[in-house]
Structure 1
Amino acid sequence: MADSLEDDLSCPVCCEIYQDPQLLSCGHTFCSKCLQKHWTVNTRTCPVCRRVSLQEPVANLALRDTSETYQKEKERQKKESESESEVRCSQHGEKVKFFCKTDEEVICLKCRKESHRSHRVQLLAQAARQHKDRIKAALHPAEKALQSLKNGTNKKAEITKYIQSQGHQAERQIKAEFEKFHHFLKKEEEARMTALKRDVEKKKGKLEESIEQDILLLSDRVREVEEEMESEDAQFLQNYNFVLQRARQTMLDSELPSADLINMAEHVGNLGYRVWEKMTNIFHYYPVLLDLNSAPEDFFISDDLASVGKSSCIRPNPIGFHGNRLVLGSEGYNDGFHCWNIEVGNSKHWTLGVCQRSADMDLVKPLTAEMGFWGLKRKGDSYMLLTSYKYSFKIQKKPRTVQVQLGGWFTLGNLNIGRMVRFVDVSDGSVIACYRRIPQGVPLFPFLIPEERFSHLRIAPTIPPLILEHVVVERQKTQISDYLMYFFIAVLVIWSLMFGGNK
C-alpha cells in the first residue's frame, strides 16, 4: 500500500516525491524544476504525452500538501527506526557512548558520572575498533587455515596424499604377491599335468605292449589249429582231442588288475589341500603383524610387516610421532592362550613384550608394568623386567629366539586361572622370566624395540592358525592335567601326614 502511494506521489521525470508540483493543461503534473529543465530542450511540450501546453502551468496545491505530509511521515518513521536500533542504557534509557574497560560493558554518560567514575573508560568507537582488531587477529589463523584448505596445503591434505601413497604401495605389494601365487600355481599345474601325462602314457604303453604280445600269441595258436584241421581225416581224428584242447586254450583272461588303471586319488585327491600345504613352505604365516603406523619415522619395517630395525633413512609420515619409541603389533589379544616367537639373533640391546594400547598412546610414558608395559629388556649381558624398581639378572645361555606366551595358568593354593606373560628360550624351552597378575579382559598388544643400528627383530613364521589352535588346545589340556595331578598328589601327601601317623 505504501509503495503504491509513493508511486502516485512521484514525479514521472525524476521519480522522486513531488517538489512544488505544477499541473499542465493536458492534466499531467511534474516538479517545477523538472518541468523547466525539460522545456529548455523541448519547447513547452509535456514530457509524458508530448502535447504543447499553450497555457502557463498552475500549482497543484492538493498534491503538494499530500506530498509534503507523506515526506514528513517517511522521515519520522526513519528516525524512529534509527532510534530503535540504537543501544540504550538499560538503567537510564540514554544512548550508550562509552565502554568501561574495568567492567567490560557499554555505558551511557550518566553511568560514567555515577557508578563508573573511577573506572577506565574510553569512547565507544575507539573500544569497538580495538576489539575488532583483536577479533581479526584471532580470526587470522582460521582464515589462514581456510586458505590452506582451499589450496590443498594443510596437514589433512598432506595426510590425504600420504594415504594415497600408502594405497599405491599396498597395491604394488598385493600385485607382487599374487604374481608369486600365479607363478607358483602355474608351475604346480604344469608339474601335476606332466606327472598325469607320464602316468597315462606309462599305463597305456604297458597295456598296449600286453595287447601286442596277446596278438602274437593268439595268431600263432590260431595258425597251428588251422594247420591241424587241414591234415588228413584219419590223422585229424586221431589228434582231435589235442586240437580241441589247443583251440580252447586260445581264449585269454579279460580281467585286468586295478594297478593297471590310473590312481585318481594320487592325482586329484585332496588336490587343493595338498597344493595349499605345499604353499605354506613358500608363503609364510606370521602370528603377529607389525603396525607400520605406530613406528617412529627412523624405524625400518619390512614389506611383510614381520621385521623391524633402526634405519638411517627417515620414513615420510605426515602424522608426527610423539610417543614411546616402539612398534606395536597390529592386533591385540584378549583372554586365551597366545604365543609367538621373536628372532633376536646376536643383538645385545632390545626390548619386547606386551602392552595396553590406551587413548594417550602418543604420549611418552615410562615403560613399566605399572604403566601397562610388561616386557623383557636386554642391555648388554644383563636382562631385566620392565618394573618400577630396577633389577637385572644374567643368563648363561643367551637366547637367539624368544617366545612370548600370553595366557592363563593354574596356580597351586587356589583353583583360579591367573593371566600371565612368560618369556621362554625356544632352543631349550627354559623360562627366562614371567609376569603374574596381568589384567584380564583387556586387549594386550605385542611390542618390539630394536636398540641397535644393524640388528633386526623379526617375528618368526609358524604353522597356520588351524593347526596352531589344535596345538594350543592340546598344550592347555596337558598343562591342566599336570596341575590337577600335582594337586591330587599334594592332597594325598597332606592326608597321609595328618592321618597316617595315628594308625
Structure 2
Amino acid sequence: MASKKMREEATCSICLHLMTNAVSISCGHSYCHACIVSFFENLYRMQPWLKTFSCPQCRAPFNMESLRPNKQLGNLIEVIKEMDQEMSCEEHGEKLHLFCEDEGQLICWLCDRGAQHKGHATALVEEACQGYKEKLQQAVTNLRQLEEECMNLKVFTAAQITKWNEKIEVQKQKIQSDFKTLQSFLHEEEKSYLWKLEKEKEQTLRRLRDNEANLEQKNHELQSHILELENKCQCSAQKLLQDVKDTLSRSWTVKLEQPEVLSLDVHTVCSVSELYFDVKKMLRRHQVSVTLDPDTAHYELILSEDRRQVIRGCPQEKLDNSSRRFSALPCILGCEAFTSGKHYFEVDVGEGTGWDLGVCMENVQRDTVMPQTPQSGFWAIRRCKEGYVALTSPLTSIQLTEKPLVVGILLDFEAGVVSFYNMTTGSHIFTFPKASFSDTLRPYFQVCLYSPLFLPPPDE
C-alpha cells in the first residue's frame, strides 16, 4: 500500500506519469517541469492579458516566478524507479537474486531450494548478467554485421534497379529508333516503287493511246470509203458505172492494221514482307562493286594496290596535273559511273573520326574550295569532331545512338534519292530531299588524317 501511495504522490496529474524534473508551485502541488510550462504557455497563448494562472488541481492562483525544484520529491521518484527495477518472486515475495541456467529464469533463494530447481545450475544475478551481457553484445555485433550486409545488399539492389531501368530505357529507345528507321526506309521505298509504277503506267498508256489515235484515224478513213460507196450505189446507172472499177479498187486496198500488241502485265512489283524482314538484304540486292579512281585522287591520298583502300599521308610525287584530279581538297571519286537505275555500295569507316561519303556529279569543281552541297553537285554526309552532319545548305545535324563502322549508300537515279544507312545496326541515317539528276553521278569520298576508308567487295 505504501508503495502505491508513494507512486500516486510522485505521479504528475498532467501527463499521469512519474514526474520528470519535478517542480512545485506556490500552492504546494508539484508537476513535471515540462508539463507545467506547456500548461502555462497554452493558457497564455489563448489569454495573453493574464498575469496569474490557476493550479490544474486546486485552482489556486500562481505565476511562473513561483516555480521551485522539488528535490525531495525527485529523490523519492528515483527510489521508486529503483524499486521497480528490483523485481520480487511472485510465489515467495523474496527478491530475485538468482538466475537458473537450466530454466532460463530469475528465482529467489527459496525457489533455489525447492523441488522444481533441484540440481539446476544457478548463479547470482550480477554474475549471470555479466556473462549474458557479453553474449548479448556479441549478438548485437552479429546483427550489426547482418544489418550492414543488408544495407549493402539494399544499395546493390537499388543500383540494379537503376541499371535495369536504364537498360530498359536504352532498349526502348533502340526499338523506337529501329521502327522509326524501318518506317523511314519503307516510306522511301514506297515512294520509289510508286514513282516507278507511275512511270510504267505513263509509258504503257502513251503507247495504248497512240494505238487508240491510230484506230480512230483508220475509223474515219473507213467511214469515208463507206460513205463514198453508199453514195455511188444511190446514183443513176450512168454515174454508178462511171469510174466504178477505180472506186472498187480503192476500197479493196483499204487494210486494217492491227495495233501494237502490248502486255498488260505490271512489271513494277514489290515484296513488302521482304523489305520489312531484312533491310540489309534488300539494300544488297542493288549492291555494286566500287573501286577508287587514282586519276582523281588528291596528291596527299595513298591508294592500296586493289584500289579499295585509301589513307591520307605525305604528298605524293610525280603525279600528273590532270584536270580530273582534286587539288583543293583531299578527295577522290569511285571509278564507277551511274546514269540510271538503283545502286548501293558500302564503305568501311572503322574508328575514323573524319570523312565525307556520298555521290557527286561528274563535272564538280576540283581545283577550288566550295561547299559540298547538292547545289554544288554533292550529296554526302560528314563525320567530324562535332559528330555527324548531312551536307545540306544549311548543314543538317544527324543524331545517332550507335556509331556506324560501315556506312551503306543507296542511289536511286530515276527517283532522285540518295540515302545513307548504318550497316552496323541496319538502321537509316539520312535521306536527301528528292533531286532531279541530269548528269553522271560517281561515288565521292573525302579523307582526313588517321581515318582510312575501305570499300569491301559485294560478297563480303
- TMscore range, shorter length: 0.3 to 0.5
Question: Which one scores higher on RCO, CA 8 angstroms, separation ≥ 6?
Answer: 2
